[in-house]
């Protein structure tokens, strides 16, 4: 990168241009009017269906299983929303729209804070209360959350073994396989950086995207240049660091919650439990962003 005062140029429209203004959209009134009589809060949000989905398996039914089910379902809904937002973020990066990318990232960061905070609720459950229904969970475990693995793959934490574990469910397997073969958010970001004129090594740009993101000295050099000279791109780098830190924070809170709930017992998914989960800590999705911290 040649320039010493590089600023990422942005000609992208403001956020409000994403939707047509109400008075310029003749369809809005007609659609609202035609739907108004039939649509209610309950029918729009499918509340009947939603509230019928919490089905405890313990017999007799244990009080705390309801919390356990709801919190997992809420997580899966947020995971769906995170994927929805991150997919659009990748599109914004591919379309060279940095301001919208930042906006999108901030939303995901707020969701991540909510995901971490929810662990507080689960931690009101004592080891005895969890044990009252644990045997009924059989081998089911958060380890089998396909959407969690989708988020990991999208962030660049690719691991083929996870893909193979989902071969029993075609929808989950197809979704994961698509993400496994797609460039990650980090790939999209670095390609965007390259299009802004920063020198990114050809071997990074042509890399096998099914491999987990590793360290790249060339990428780190570009990041150092960005931090020194480009405030707009620096902001994006910092948001990505927040995202990476946020996911690691969730892992840490989850393992502490597991440890206080089941101690050193094995997980229902068959792992060594807290010991296995500790091995997943401090493994960043964007290692180069962390590596450059000591360069200043
Ligand atoms: C009492 C509550 C919980 C306990 C005791 C617990 C326990 C565990 C254990 C022991 C594992 C390791 C795999 C295994 O052998 O099962 C695990 C993995 C996992 N759990 Fe939980 N968990 C709880 C709540 C949650 C919640 C609410 C979520 C939200 C979706 C969640 C998501 C996950 C995920 C995504 C993994 C895989 C982590 C990885 O492989 O990196 N867990 N859990």
CA distances from 217 to 124, 186, 220, 225, 287 (A): 45, 15, 5, 13, 11
Supply 33's token pair. Answer: 């009017």
Residue 153 Cβ inside 6 Å of ligand 1? The answer reads: no
Q: pTM (2 decimals)?
A: 0.91
| CATH T-level fold of 61-207+214-295 | Methane Monooxygenase Hydroxylase; Chain G, domain 1 (1.20.58)
Where are the chain's structural domains?
61-207+214-295
Nearest CA to 88 out of 154, 149, 146, 145 is that of: 154
Instruction: For tokens 């020194």, name the residue.
Output: 228
Residue 261 Cβ inside 6 Å of ligand 1? The answer reads: yes
Residue 273 Cβ inside 6 Å of ligand 1? The answer reads: yes
Residue-level pLDDT, tens digit, the chain, 296 residues = 434 344 444 456 555 455 544 455 555 556 656 666 689 999 999 999 999 999 999 999 999 999 999 999 999 999 999 999 999 999 999 999 999 999 999 999 999 999 999 999 999 999 999 999 999 999 999 999 999 999 999 999 999 999 999 999 999 999 999 999 999 999 999 999 999 999 999 999 999 999 999 999 999 999 999 999 999 999 999 999 999 999 999 999 999 999 999 999 999 999 999 999 999 999 999 999 999 999 99
Atom of ligand 1 nearest to the CA of 268: 16
Helix axes 127-134, 231-262, angle to 10 degrees: 80
């Amino acid at each position: 990168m040649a320039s010493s005062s590089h600023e990422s140029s942005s000609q992208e429209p403001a956020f409000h241009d994403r939707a047509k203004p109400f008075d310029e959209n003749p369809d809005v009134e007609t659609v609202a009017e035609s739907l108004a009589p039939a649509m209610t809060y309950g029918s729009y949000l499918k509340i009947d269906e939603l509230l019928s989905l919490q089905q405890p398996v313990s017999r007799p039914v244990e009080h705390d299983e309801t919390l356990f089910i709801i919190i997992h379902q809420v997580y899966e809904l947020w995971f769906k929303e995170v994927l929805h937002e991150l997919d659009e973020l990748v599109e914004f990066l591919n379309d060279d729209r940095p301001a919208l990318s930042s906006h999108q990232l901030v939303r995901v960061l707020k969701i991540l804070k909510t995901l971490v905070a929810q662990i507080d609720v689960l931690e009101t459950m004592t080891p005895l209360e969890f044990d009252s229904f644990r045997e009924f969970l059989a081998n089911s475990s958060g380890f089998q959350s396909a959407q969690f693995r989708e988020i990991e793959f999208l962030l660049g934490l690719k691991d083929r073994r996870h893909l193979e574990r989902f071969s029993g469910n075609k929808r989950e397997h197809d979704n994961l396989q698509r993400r496994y073969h797609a460039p990650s958010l980090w790939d999209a970001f670095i390609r965007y950086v390259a299009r802004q004129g920063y020198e990114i090594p050809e071997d990074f740009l042509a890399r096998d995207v099914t491999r987990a993101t590793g360290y790249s000295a060339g990428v780190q050099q570009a990041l150092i240049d960005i931090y020194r000279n480009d405030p707009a791109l620096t902001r994006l780098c910092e948001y990505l660091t927040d995202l990476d830190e946020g996911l690691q924070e969730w892992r840490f809170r989850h393992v502490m919650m597991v440890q206080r709930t089941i101690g050193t017992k094995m997980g229902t998914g068959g792992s060594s439990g807290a010991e296995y989960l500790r091995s997943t800590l401090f493994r960043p999705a964007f290692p180069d962003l962390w590596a450059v911290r000591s360069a200043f």
